[in-house]
Amino acid sequence: MTIEWFVILSALLFATGALGILLRRSPMVILLCLELMLNAGNLALVAFSRMVGNGQGQVFAVIVMVIAACEVVVGLGLIVAIFRRRLPLDVDDLRELRG
Amino acid sequence: MSVSFWAWLVLLFPLLGSIVIGLGYRVLPAKVAGAIGTVAIGLAFACGVAALLSLLGDQPEARHHASSLWNYASVAGLDIKLGIFVDPLSIFMVLVVSGVSTLIHLYSYGYMQSDAGYHRFFSYLNFFVFSMLLLVLAGNFVLLIVGWAFVGFASYALISFWYRRETATRAGMKAFVINVVGDIGLVLAAFLIFRELGSFDYGTVFERAPEVFSTNQWSITAICLLLLVGAFAKSAQLPLHTWLPDAMEGPTPVSSLIHAATMVTAGVYLIARTHVLFELAPTAADVAAFTGLATLLVAATMALVMTDLKRAIAYSTMSQIGYMIMGVSIGAYSAGMFHLMTHAFFKALLFMAAGSIIAAMANDQNIDRMSGFGKAMRFTSITFVCGALALAAFPGSSGFFSKDEILAYAAARGGMYVIFTVLGYAGALLTAVYSFRLVFRVLHGEPCDEARELIETGHVAHEAPKNPATGEPEDTDVGFPGPEHHIAEHSAPMRVAMGVLAFGAIFAGLVQVPGVDDVVTKFLDPVWAGSPLAAIEPSTLADWEGLGIGGVIALLGIGVAYVLYVARPELPRRLETRLRPLHTLFANKWYFDEAIDFLVVRPALAVGRFANRVFERFVVDGLVSGTEGGVRGAGGVVRAVQNGFVRSYALLLIAGFAGLALYFLLSSS
């Protein structure tokens, strides 16, 4: 299997995630889309790593997973906090920090 | 104890007094504050005497001591020490300053008693004495400038002492500004001295100056002319004199101490101190001498017509300082310093007596309203006459010997300097006339209302307090004169001070009678060692001839005053109408104020207004508001981006990364 398929799949996943972030208003979905984008990046890293033939790319992928986990913790924490305070779960309504 | 030890103590006591009174004004009762101030200055005088005795123990050639406490600044070839220089000249000045100051403190102790700012007054007064002593004891030009500026500030603070009186605060500002002009001259002179000679230290400067400069070289002339700017401003010489008459807004003891006896003679001291430099720049010395001559004549004419008692005496101060400046500039150093001493006595005395009379007049200073105080105030009148006799150089009085010594020296130097003798005698005639004009108009004649009240009831007249210059109503709280007026007849300290000074005014001349003794000259001679000008000495015969002429002129002047103001009192009015233009010129103070206003103040104001209208409005404001507008605009753009929609941030982010990726892709291929 050539590298192109992996890259195309990764690009598709990334575009899906990005579109999700741009179009959806629920913080939960945005968080999921973010994960999608990160994992698209992971896929590309692992694919290139296999192509080059050493483990460096895979190390990066592992680190990205760790960071993604942290990010999910923070993100979910925020969402729970928003929910607890009975604020609308809609990112367009939460715009108090506008300039 | 060494000489410099005593000299440091001379400085210490007034400073301590000023600080203690200044900080303790809440705790100290008024009388204690006054006593502390007086005692501090008295101790300074005692230490001055001790320093004198210690100095007299040295050989005459070795009578100079430099001492320093610590290095003030020592960097880049600059070596400034907090050091003093003690020699007969500085000790002479210390004794005159602290001696007269002690008496004036004593006088103020009585005179200012009802004033609400009593503590402040004594704190300032002690600070002034400290500054003046620092000025005369300084061992280098830097410390001299420090003392010089301190003295200027003390003068400002004391002129504006009654700070709720607008005329007083204005006069204070005027004095300060003109004094700062002088300070600038002095500072520039010090810079030039440092550039040419590489030192600020008196000893080094005076030693090196004759080696470095040739006579009348431009740089030494520039230095001396700049020193003269400082001296003229401080000593109220033309054309920087206009502040002195206005300074009479201050309390009378201040006029007596600062604006007659001590501070205004700082210029004379400066020229005498730097006589080595002035002898290398005879042109500058001649400028100084002619300025002194012009001042003594112009001021005498103004003193002839002034109707304000204190201002008339102030003009006579200017005139007498003109004599001193003339004296020390033509080389009559000891004579000039001797006149400084006798003048300090009789002028301080005249002001004290004037203060007593003004108090009796309920603060009115107009001599047109005064008459007949001779009967009402015996003691004051006797001392006033003593002062006036000395001022008019009545034969035998102190002014008689000191003034004529300057004029005799000028005659002995010969050449064009004879002009100084001739015109000096003309000035002496005017002096005698104006001093006895005051005596006859104030003391002689039918008692005026205030004098009659004093004779009949023994009480000092009281009127609703008002500004004597403008007639504005005032109260007697702090910032205005106090409610009680003190006259010498009712106040023992005032009487003591005036009695001592009256004794000095009459008899101080006896220390220096030509052919008999010459205490002052002999004492000061080591200071001018090696100076060719100081070696010129009029013969005893010439001295006595001069004294004879001076005596005749003084008697003539007093006679003229007697005719004008006693024998034929209608004559002055007739003369006034006959010589209308001259009278107008004199009474308007030769239009110096107007000339300075026109030549300096208005152009300066116009420049300021131009700068405000054009430069400030367009350039400065333009820069500032341009910057402000730029920041505001940029901020608006950034604000518009921060719209609070997370998704639009994400879009920007993604678009930005996409753009970057595109750029790198395109540029790499």
Binary contact (A91, B638; C-beta < 8 A): no
| pLDDT at A31 exceeding the cut of 80 | yes
Which residue type is seen at B54? S
Give me the mean pLDDT over the B97-110 stretch. 90
DSSP secondary structure, B432-467, as one string: HHHHHHHHHHHHSSS--HHHHHHHHH-PPP----B-
Give pLDDT tens digits for A43-87: 999 999 988 888 888 999 999 999 999 999 999 998 899 889 888
Give me the mean pLDDT over the B44-58 stretch. 88
| B495: confidence class by pLDDT, cuts 50, 70, 90 | confident
- Whether chain B has a CB inside 8 Å of the CB on A1: the answer is no
Which of B641, B654, B662 to mutate to test binding with chain A, by most A CBs within 10 Å of its CB?
A: B654
Of B254-268, B441-455, B613-627, which range is least confident? B441-455
DSSP secondary structure, B144-190, as one string: HHHHHHHHHHHHHHHHTSSTT-HHHHHHHHHHHHHHHHHHHHHHHHH
- Whether chain B has a CB inside 8 Å of the CB on A7: the answer is no
Binary contact (A95, B644; C-beta < 8 A): yes
User: What is the separation of C-alpha B368 from the centre of its chain, rounded to a whole number of angstroms?
Assistant: 28
Which of A33, A92, A93, A96 to mutate to test binding with chain B, by most B CBs within 10 Å of its CB?
A: A92
Q: What is the dihedral of CA B155, B157, B162, B167, to 10 degrees?
A: 70
Q: Which residues contact B484 (CB under 8 A, 6 or more apart)?
A: B113, B114
Give the CB-side neighbour count of residue B24, counting CA atoms within 13 A: 17
Q: Would you say B325 and B291 are in contact if contact means Cβ atoms under 8 Å apart?
A: yes
Predicted pLDDT at B76: 65
- Token match 């830097």: residue? B142
Residues of chain B neighbouring A99 (CB-CB closer than 8 A): 638-644
- Whether chain B has a CB inside 8 Å of the CB on A21: the answer is yes
The DSSP symbol for B300 reads H
Give the DSSP H/E element, type plus range, for residue B73. Answer: strand B65-75
Q: Cα(B511)–Cα(B16) distance, rounded to whole angstroms?
A: 34
Asked, as a colleague might, if the bond just before B60 is cis with ω within 30 of 0, I would say no
Q: Where are the domains of chain B?
A: 597-668
Rounded to a whole number of angstroms, the distance from the CA of A62 to the nearest CA of chain B is 23
Binary contact (B645, A95; C-beta < 8 A): yes
Predicted pLDDT at B276: 87
Q: Cα(A44)–Cα(A6) distance, rounded to whole angstroms?
A: 7
| B243: confidence class by pLDDT, cuts 50, 70, 90 | confident
Tokens at residue B582, please? 């001259």
Q: Cα(B242)–Cα(B186) distance, rounded to whole angstroms?
A: 19
Give the phi and the psi of residue B379 in degrees, each rounded to 5. -60, -50
Rounded to a whole number of angstroms, the distance from the CA of B181 to the nearest CA of chain A is 56
Give me the mean pLDDT over the B523-527 stretch. 82
| Domains of chain A with bracketed CATH | 3-84 (1.10.287.3510)
Mean pLDDT (chain B) is 86
Give pLDDT tens digits for B54-71: 888 888 777 777 777 777
Q: Would you say B193 and B200 are in contact if contact means Cβ atoms under 8 Å apart?
A: yes
- Whether chain A has a CB inside 8 Å of the CB on B639: the answer is yes
- Whether chain B has a CB inside 8 Å of the CB on A91: the answer is yes
Tokens at residue B456, please? 């009949």
| A99: confidence class by pLDDT, cuts 50, 70, 90 | low
Instruction: Supply angle C-alpha B342, B346, B351, rounded to 5.
Output: 145
Give me the mean pLDDT over the A20-39 stretch. 90
Instruction: From B108, B148, B142, select the one nearest B257 (Cα to Cα).
Output: B108
Residues of chain B neighbouring A94 (CB-CB closer than 8 A): 646
Binary contact (A99, B650; C-beta < 8 A): no
Residues 23-62 of A with CB under 8 A from B: 23, 25, 30
DSSP secondary structure, B495-558, as one string: HHHHHHHHHHHHHGGGGG-TTT--HHHHHHGGGGTT-HHHH----HHHHHHHHHHHHHHHHHHH
| pLDDT at B74 exceeding the cut of 80 | no
Of B536-540, B604-608, B660-664, which range is least confident? B536-540
Give pLDDT tens digits for B307-318: 888 888 999 999
Nearest chain B residue to A24 by CA distance is B647
Predicted pLDDT at B665: 93
Q: Cα(B154)–Cα(B18) distance, rounded to whole angstroms?
A: 12
**Percentage of residues in chain A having pLDDT higher than 90:** 57
Binary contact (B645, A30; C-beta < 8 A): no
Q: Cα(B52)–Cα(B486) distance, rounded to whole angstroms?
A: 36
The DSSP symbol for A4 reads H
Q: Is B79 helix (H, G, I), strand (E, B) or coil?
A: strand
Q: Which residues contact B365 (CB under 8 A, 6 or more apart)?
A: B308, B309, B310, B311, B358, B468
Binary contact (A99, B639; C-beta < 8 A): yes
Binary contact (A99, B638; C-beta < 8 A): yes
Rounded to a whole number of angstroms, the distance from the CA of A97 to the nearest CA of chain B is 6
Binary contact (A98, B644; C-beta < 8 A): yes
Residues of chain B neighbouring A82 (CB-CB closer than 8 A): none
Give pLDDT tens digits for B399-413: 888 888 888 888 888
Rounded to a whole number of angstroms, the distance from the CA of A30 to the nearest CA of chain B is 9
